[in-house]
Structure 1
Amino acid sequence: METSELLKKVRHIEIKTRGLSRNIFAGQYHSAFKGRGMAFSEVREYQYGDDVRDIDWNVTARHNKPYIKVFEEERELTVMLLVDVSASRNFGAVGEMKKSIMTEIAATLAFSAIQNNDKIGVIFFSDRIEKFIPPKKGRKHILYIIRELIDFQPESKGTDLSLVLEYMTNAIKKRCTAFLISDFITNDNFKNALSIANRKHDMVGIQVYDKRETVLPDVGLIKMCDAERNVENWVDSSSQKVRKAYSAWWNDRQGRMLDYMRKSRVDVASVSTDEDYVIALMNLFKRRS
């Protein structure tokens, strides 16, 4: 992409997403993620209404009466964006392309983090770790992230969620809030990696999909392409059996993904390319507040 065109796109994304994070998400982001980064402060005697999960059993045993751990909110969090840059993001039959929606969501979260005085970092991934941007603060850092979101060219086409989850778990030592932004078109090998990552960090899943991926239209013989494997097949979409099988495939895959998230205790939001992602993010934040 030419430099002038790229700068125009960066500026457009900055104006839109900074405005969203400042005007719409003001307070929502902080209330959704406050308390996720907590530092131990002291112990005190248990009082009626305290959370029993905060009881310090060692101190309680020594004093023969219950004591609880008191935590204080850390002044800043580290936020990581795990952004899927596989070939399947370059699709958009209904509404925007998935890549465009992913870019805007990531930029909005980045500006929300900066306004909350948090550090923000990014891992671009396909079926390999494509690029790691360490967490930092500042507008210059944010604009660099946006430029990369718009113009980054991955080396590979596939997707491996377990790889990026394992990489983040090892690379980020301090507990962080991590947004996994993907269409989740991948194999089913990421369940264990997701559970492990969420035990160390605060994981959040954001799925971006196109409605044309969910239902096969009745338009006769069509060529379908698997962008990640570079495989093409002709499909008879006029066949009711074929359309039912396709819908069953999507529903089964979507159900397994949501089940993995639920069992790993990871909050998730699903956003269609023709929907307002602001509403989905607001609902996600409200669920966590």
Structure 2
Amino acid sequence: MSGSSSNAEQLLRHLEWTVLRRLDGLLQGDYRTLLRGAGMDLADLREYQHHDDVRHIDWNVTARLSQPHVRVFTEDREMSAWFLLDLSPSMDFGSGEQRKRQVSAGFVAVLARMLTRHGNRVGAMLYGSGVDTVIPARGGRQHVLQLLHTLQTRPEAAEADVSGPTRLHELLESAANLVRRRSTIFVLSDFISETGWERPLGLLARRHEVVAVRLLDPLELQLPDLGLIPIRDAETGEQLLVDTHDAGFRKRFARIAAQREADLRQSLVRAGVDALELSTDGDLVDALMRFTELRKRRSRLADGGSAGKLPTHLQQAA
């Protein structure tokens, strides 16, 4: 076994014994909570019955036949998941022990292994200065090792001479063309990109179950008082010397960062995707459990709210 392959094996084994074992105990086998809406195929249409979920009503057929009809689904035993990986220069940043790129790789390894050991397939698309690598969707632990090996041996953006602004829309548009079958798609990025990615993300979410996995570092939100320090823009290479001892400067930086956070979250809401935030100083299991609880709460609200009631004009027909 080569050194790089051995590193991939060691990392995956470490994650299996730490992160995956903890998740197994907390999720109690309900791993599909993380993948709501995936793995379902339309099997048939039939008349509505009182115990049916009204969210499955096919309104076009109902209007045509003047009788409520519901879509009947069957669980697709083999589900595909795709990881769209932003590996642009800003993903190499990290103010602590981990960089955003390392956190991203850990997330991919954990989710890919969780999926493949239940018989599902995973694939990946990698973006540097463009979409330069596509790993087809396959199953099995060996495939996860290959994916992890590719991420580990890929040079950092600076070493690969990747420069210029990130064009995240290129990655999203490429995925829309490549991934035809309904899948779960994880978009892993810090979303430091040229504008224009919002629309293709929304279009992707119309066909697939899309989760935006946003990578961030605490230093991108608030600057500590470190005196005079050089700051380099990873995307453009521009360098500035800033005085972090200036309280006014730190406040302005925090205010701009908070506005960018609010704008980004609003963009993800408008695109209709769920979002998971992973920080370089955070715990992966805690982040995944918070995300799982969010999905459970949304599911309970949908079941107990107005979405669970038959419209008045259809109650007599039912």
Change (3 A) 1:11 1:252: same
1:56-135 matched pairs, under 5 angstroms: 56-57=58-59, 59-61=61-63, 63-135=65-137
Aligned CA RMSD, in angstroms, stands at: 2.1
Matched, 1:37 2:39: yes
The alignment partner of 2:71 has SS state of strand
- More displaced, 151-160 or 90-99? 151-160
The alignment partner of 1:254 has SS state of helix
Residue in 2 that maps onto 1:223: 230
State the shift of 1:167 in Å.
Answer: 0.7
Q: Which runs of 4+ in 1 moved over 4 A?
A: none
8 Å CA contact retained: 2:117, 2:141: no
- Separation of aligned partners in 2, 1:32 and 1:197: 18
Unaligned runs of 5+ in 1: none
Matched, 1:24 2:23: yes
- Separation of aligned partners in 2, 1:240 and 1:280: 32
1:1-289 matched pairs, under 5 angstroms: 3-4=2-3, 6-19=4-17, 20-21=19-20, 24-25=23-24, 27-33=29-35, 35-57=37-59, 59-61=61-63, 63-153=65-155, 155=160, 156-157=162-163, 158-289=165-296
The alignment partner of 1:122 has SS state of strand
For these two proteins, the number of residue pairs brought into alignment is 287
| CA deviation profile, 1:236-280 (whole Å, cap 9, x unmatched) | 222222212211221111111111111122111112111101111
Residue in 1 that maps onto 2:305: none
- Give the letter aligned to residue 16 of structure 2: R
Unaligned runs of 5+ in 2: 297-318
State the shift of 1:149 in Å.
Answer: 1.4
Taking structure 1 as the reference length, the TM-score comes to 0.91
Change (3 A) 1:62 1:83: closer
Change (3 A) 1:61 1:227: closer
- Separation of aligned partners in 2, 1:161 and 1:71: 34
- Give the letter aligned to residue 264 of structure 1: A
The alignment partner of 2:241 has SS state of strand
The alignment partner of 1:79 has SS state of strand
8 Å CA contact retained: 2:89, 2:234: yes
- More displaced, 61-70 or 188-197? 61-70
8 Å CA contact retained: 2:37, 2:209: no
- Separation of aligned partners in 1, 2:261 and 2:129: 20
Change (3 A) 1:236 1:54: same
State the shift of 1:63 in Å.
Answer: 4.8
State the shift of 1:287 in Å.
Answer: 2.4
Percent of residue pairs bearing the same amino acid type: 31
- More displaced, 16-25 or 133-142? 16-25
- Separation of aligned partners in 1, 2:10 and 2:253: 37
Change (3 A) 1:92 1:61: closer
The alignment partner of 1:14 has SS state of helix
8 Å CA contact retained: 1:34, 1:73: no
- Give the letter aligned to residue 49 of structure 2: Q
- Give the letter aligned to residue 95 of structure 2: A
- Give the letter aligned to residue 132 of structure 2: E
